[in-house]
Structure 1
C-alpha cells in the first residue's frame, strides 16, 4: 500500500518532483565539481613539491643559514697555466657545494634516532662549472712612419730617442665557454628517499646497492638530450669519467639535478668527505610532522627543518590563485547553493502538503494515523532527494570529466622560503649559486579526480536533502485534522 500510493503520487506530481530534484542536483553537482577540482589542485601542488623533495619525504634538514657578514661566501676561481702553444685548449672545472654549507654525515644518524622519524637519508648537492677555451697572442705591428727617420739618436736605434721601436699590438685575446650543470650525490643503499625517487628510469637501470663508490651515473633525460648522452657513454666531472648506466625522467618534467652519482663519489669530487647538504626525512606518522620538526630543531643545533607544508606556502602563480579560489570561494559557493537547495526543497514540499489538505484530511478520516501520513510525505521527499542525488552525481561527474579533458595549464612558481642558502633543502631549492632569490617555475596540467568518498558524500547529501524536505512536509501534514478536509469539501 505504501509503495503503491508513493508511486502514484510521484507520477501525478512529476513537475513538482522534478523541480525539487533539480534544485538538489544543482547543489550536489557543484559540491562534486568543487571537491574534485580542489583534489586536483592538491595533487598538482604535490607534484610540484615532489620535484624537490622526492616521494615519501616529509621534511628536509639543512644547515642553518650563516649570519650576514659572517663569511661562508665563496667565489669560483679559475686558474690557467701559461702555455706556449696558443692553439692548445685550456680547460678547468670547479665543483661547488650548492649553498656552500654542509652538515656532517653523522647528522643523518642523529636525525634518524629522533622520535617519530621512520627513515632518514643524506644527499650532497653540487654545481659543476666548466670553463674551456683558448688564449690568442696578439701581433706587434711597427709604426712605419716613426721607423723611417729615427736613426740619428743615441745608439743608432730606430723609432725614437729611447731606442725602442714604436708600434702597437693587434689581435689576441681569449675565447672561453662556460658550462654549468648540477650533480646530486645519492645514497645508493637507501634509494627510497630523496629527489631521484620523483623520477622514473626510462632507459638503462638505477644504481645498485653495491655501487657505493663506483664511477657510475644516472642522467636526466632532458640533459641527456641536450648533451647527446646515452646509456653506455660517459660524463666527465672534474676530470673523472663516470659511466652512464641509466636515464631518468622526472614526473613533474623538471628534474632535481642533471646528473646523479653515488654519494661517496660526490663527496670525493667536491672535496667534502663525510659531508652532506641535505637530510631527507620520512615521519612515521604524517599527523606528527610538526612534532618531529620541533624535536629535530631542539635536539640538533645549527639546522633548519623545512616541511612540505612550509614549501607549499611559497607556491605562487596561477596554481596558487586557482587553489585559493577552489578552497575558499568555491567551497563557500557550493555550501550556499546546497543550503538554498535544501530550503527550497523543504518549502516546496511544505507547500505541496498545503495543497493536499483535503487529501490528507480524508485519509485521516478513513483511519490513517498522523504517523502514517507523515511517513508517506517523508517517503515522497526522500525519493525526490535520491532522484536529485543521481542527477547531481551525473552532472558532477560530467563537469569533472570536462575539466580533466580540457586539462587547463596552471603555472606554479616556487620561490625561496627565506631561510637563506639551503633554506629549502633540495638540490633545486635555493641552495646553490644563482638560486638564492630565483624561483622555480613549472607548468602543471589540472585534473579533477573524483574519489569514492566524494560520491558517498553526494549520496549522503541527497538523502539529507530528502529528509530535510520531508521533515518540513511531515511536520505540516501531522498538524492536519479530518475536519479540515470536510471544511474544504463543503
Structure 2
C-alpha cells in the first residue's frame, strides 16, 4: 500500500500537465452544473417574486374587447383593455376547486396634465392575499387602511417622497382632496400590487363611476401551486374568458434565456456535467495510455492487475476531488456574477409614466435572486468524484488487459 501511495504521488508530481487537464475537465463539468442550476433557480425565483409578495399564485383579469378610443383625455378611468368582474363572479372564483383564497381589487388611472397616477382600490378586510396584504405588512409611516373606512389614502413611498407628501397632509385624487393616513413601501417582490395611491375599494369604484361590487383584478391563492394551470382552466370555465398572470407567464416575459433557464436548467446542467466527465475520461485515458510501459514493468515486477487498477483508482479519485473543489469555486463565482444580471421589467408602466422618478413597477438595477442549493453542490461533487474514478478504473482495466510483454513493447 505504501508503494502504491508513493507511486501515485510521484505520478501527480511528474505528470502535472495531464493531471491539470483532468482536473480542468472535471472542474468544467462541476462548474457548469452549479452555475446552470443556479441560473435556472434564479429565473424561477424572479418570476415567482412579484406574485409571492402578495401571497398569490395567479392574478385573474378579463380582456376588454371594446374600443379604447372613447377613453382618451384626462380624468380617472380603467386601464385600457381591462373589463370588470362583479361580486357574484368573485364569489364563483372563491368556490372553484383548488382555490384557497381570492380577493378583488380595482386598478384605475388618473390622467393628469403632465403625468398619469396609478390608483389601487383595496378592500382592507382582505389581508391574506392581494394588495391588502402589502398594506397590512409594509407600512413605513402612519397606518394602513381600516375595514369600512372611506375618504382616506395611502401613498407609495417613492411617490410620496417625489411630491414631498407626508402622513397628515392631503393628496389630490381625481377631483377630490384626501388625507394621507399612511405611506407604504412596495418592494420589487410585490410589484404586481404596485400603485402610486391606495384607496378604499368603495372610493376607487366611485371615482371610476363603477357599481359598488365591481373589480378588475382577482388575486388568487391556490392550495397546491402545482395545480395553477388546472385552477386557471376551472376559473375560465366558471366565469368565462379570462387572462391570468402566473409565474410561468412572467417567465415568458423574461424572454428566451429565462424560459430555457427556468425550464431546462437541470437538463442543461446534467449535460454540461456529462460533457466535463467525457473530457476527463479522454484526459485520463491519455494519462494511463502514456504509462503503458510503466504498467508493463510494474506487472513484470510482481504487481497484480488489481494493484494497478487500485493505484489508478486512487489517482483518479484524488484528481476528481481536486477537480470538484475547483469546479465548486468556479461555479460559485459564476453564480455570484449571475446575481448581477438585471431582471427584465415584468410589468408595464401605465401610459405616459407616473410623472416621478421612481414608480413602484420599476425593476431596473435589481439582479437575479441567484441561490446555491446544497443539492447542486452535492450532485456536482458526487458526479465529479464518481465519474472521474470510474473513468480511471475503466482506463486502467483497458491497459492492464494486455499482457505485460505487450505493454513493454508498446509505444
TM-score band by shorter chain is 0.7 to 0.9
Give the SS at the match of 1:213.
coil
Structure-1 separation of matches of 2:264 and 2:215: 44
The equivalent residue for 1:381 is 316
CA contact (8 A) 2:55 2:129 kept: yes
Matched residue, 2:141: 204
3-state SS of the aligned residue for 1:313?
helix
Tell me the secondary structure at the aligned position of residue 108 of structure 2.
strand
Inter-partner Cα distance in structure 2 for 1:301 and 1:461: 50
Aligned to 2:119: 183
Per the alignment, residue 85 of structure 2 pairs with 103
TM-score by length of 1: 0.67
Retained in 2: the 8 A contact 1:213–1:264? no
Match of 2:213 among 268, 274, 277: 274
What's the CA shift string for 1:243-292, capped at 9, x where partnerless? 32321223239772111122233234434211111111111112111111
Task: Find the aligned partners of 1:291 and 1:348 in 2 and give their Cα distance.
Answer: 50
* Equivalent pairs, count: 393
For residues 198 and 308 of structure 2, the distance between their equivalents in structure 1, rounded to whole angstroms, comes to: 74
Determine the C-alpha separation between the residues in 1 that align with 2:251 and 2:288: 53
* Distance of aligned partners of 1:305 and 1:180 in 2 relative to their CA distance in 1, 3 Å threshold: closer
For residues 344 and 225 of structure 1, do their structure 2 counterparts lie closer, same or farther at Cα, with a shift above 3 Å needed?
closer
Deviation at 1:331, TM superposition (A): 8.8
Residues 1:284 and 2:219 are matched in the alignment: no
Q: Is the 8 A contact 1:185 1:266 kept in 2?
A: yes
Name the stretch that deviates more: 361-370 or 260-269: 361-370
Decide whether the 8 Å contact of 2:44 with 2:251 is kept in 1. Answer: no
Structure 2 contact 121–202 (Cα < 8 Å) conserved: yes
Unaligned runs of 5+ in 1: 79-93, 131-176, 416-427, 433-439
1:10 match? 9
Q: Specify which structure has the higher proportion of helix.
A: 2
* Corresponding residue for residue 31 of structure 1: 33
Residues 1:218 and 1:336: Cα distance change in structure 2 (over 3 Å): same
Post-superposition Cα deviations, 1:359-399, rounded to whole Å, max 9, x if no partner, equal: 55566567765445433322321221111000111122233
Q: Counterpart of 1:259?
A: 197
Are 1:360 and 1:480, in contact at CA under 8 Å, matched by a contact in 2? no
Tell me whether 257-266 or 229-238 shows the greater mean CA deviation.
229-238
Q: CA deviation at 1:293?
A: 1.0
| Alpha-carbon RMSD | 3.9
Distance 1:351 1:215, change over 3 A: same
1:147 counterpart residue number: none
SS in structure 1 at match of 2:380: helix
Among candidates 218, 230, 233, match of residue 294 of structure 1: 233
- Alpha-carbon offset, residue 55 of structure 1: 3.2
TM-aligned CA deviation for residue 103 of structure 1? 1.0
1:327–1:219: structure 2 CA closer, same or farther, 3 Å change rule? Answer: closer
Give 3-state SS (helix, strand or coil) of 2:55's partner: coil
**Map 1:450-465 → 2, pairs under 5 A:** 450-465=372-387
- Distance in 1 between the 2:342 and 2:129 partners? 29
* Secondary structure of 2:126's aligned partner: coil
Q: Note the C-alpha offset of 1:458.
A: 1.7
The answer on whether the counterparts of 2:123 and 2:147 sit within 8 Å (CA) in structure 1 is: no
Distance 2:384 2:47 in 1: 31
Preserved contact between residue 252 and residue 259 of structure 2 (Cα < 8 Å): no
Question: Unmatched 5+ residue regions in structure 2?
Answer: 354-360
The equivalences for 1:56-71 within 5 A come to 56-66=55-65
| Residues 301 and 127 of structure 1: CA distance in aligned 2, closer, same or farther (over 3 Å) | same
CA distance in 2, matches of 1:329, 1:101: 36
Is the CA contact 2:125–2:132 (under 8 Å) kept in the aligned structure 1? no
Q: Which moved more, 1:268-277 or 1:475-484?
A: 475-484
Q: Which has the higher strand share?
A: 1
Q: Secondary structure at the match of 1:229?
A: coil
Contact 1:29-1:396 within 8 A present in 2 as well? yes
